[in-house]
Structure 1
């Protein structure tokens, strides 16, 4: 099968096309013919070598951890899926990712794909959607009437987080650049803060929850807009526990462990038109396409997700 791999750590020019064997299936896996995948920060952080101690894989490494495609084969113990099913998944973190024509995924990580989205849109959901769900629902336990701030409201995680928070009945404020105000409001944001011109710390107060997608000074300031007993969850850097205790707020930080149940919950929201993934840019499944996609994801501010379309 065709795959785009890295044979050593470095820049986007390390992404090269390579022929590899189609994956062998374990009893509990399905073989998915991929129709689309998407780029996440873990992809280019892994490529650059930032995660080599945490994830010490042997080369060649196939990056990519978003899958949308069609099941071509099922393992002997698989009962929930059949050949021909359209599916989406955030596969387990392994060195055999989704920049490939085929990937093997455990049955318990897979969900059937809703009929009302394309493969490209489906590929924009699994990793970022589950990340937003864990932060808001499992850690934040948001509920109707909660005041929620989403930093980076037009980004891969942020644009889904706004919609999930609205589904649960929250009042949602979102930060983004001015050009993305219309987008954030169309997703359901009740209040928009243009971070290029406004300081959210001076505008907001008494919030129940903050989703930090930026870290650094943004995270530091976020403590000051939370009410006592509020929650700050970061997906980029562990919050300062000392400061949290001083402010009387709860914190969360996690490395996503994907589940099929969570994937199915997100698929249900999509089916019911409560959740719509945004594809900001699409690139072809070629060596050059992946290199460009990495450069855009790493260096440009794109609304939604950067997606790889696989013919």
Structure 2
């Protein structure tokens, strides 16, 4: 699976397209096929280490926080009704990845059918 990873605090020059293993499903996982990830001021400030006092991070890290996408699989303790649902959410471990394993149920929110995923992604942190 491809992710966008930050390897240093050199701004945009420190961003890499990296291949990592697919996330593993736990009983509480909702696996989301990522559609959109907004670039927030928080992300830009993290890239330049402007937030190190407030948000110390270990490099390398997957960038991004909010996302929109479609649930493709669920763990044994999540409702199978989630499969195929369009959602927005937050992933503190990084959202710029092809698939996000959301293990915290309160961090996924259904997107109404009349709202485009690209528009819905802007609600997280926007």
Q: TM-score, normalised by structure 1?
A: 0.38
Higher relative contact order (CA 8 A, sep 6+): 2
Secondary structure of 1:108's aligned partner: helix
How large is the Cα RMSD of the aligned pairs?
A: 1.7
Larger Rg computed on CA atoms:
1
Q: Secondary structure at the match of 1:46?
A: helix
Matching of residues 14-163 of structure 1 within 5 Å:
14-79=14-79, 81-91=81-91, 93-94=92-93, 97-105=94-102, 106-128=104-126
Map Cα deviations across residues 197-242 of structure 1 (whole Å, 9 max, x no partner): xxxxxxxxxxxxxxxxxxxxxxxxxxxxxxxxxxxxxxxxxxxxxx
Cα distance change of structure 1 residues 53 and 80 upon mapping to structure 2, 3 Å threshold: farther
Unaligned runs of 5+ in 2: none
> SS in structure 2 opposite 1:117?
coil
**Structure 1 residues 107 and 101, CA gap change in structure 2 (3 angstroms):** same
**Superposed CA offset, 1:100-137 (max 9, x none):** 11112222211111111111111111222xxxxxxxxx
| Corresponding residue SS for 2:65 | coil
Runs of 4+ off more than 4 Å: none
Please report how far the alpha carbon of residue 56 of structure 1 lies from its aligned counterpart in structure 2 after TM superposition.
3.1
Q: Partners of 2:76 and 2:106 in 1: how far apart?
A: 14
Q: Check conservation: 1:74, 1:81, Cα contact below 8 A.
A: no
Kindly tell me the number of residue pairs found equivalent between the two proteins.
125
Matched residue, 1:239: none
* TM-score scaled by length of structure 2: 0.87
Deviation of 1:33 (Å): 0.5
1 or 2, which has the higher strand percentage?
2
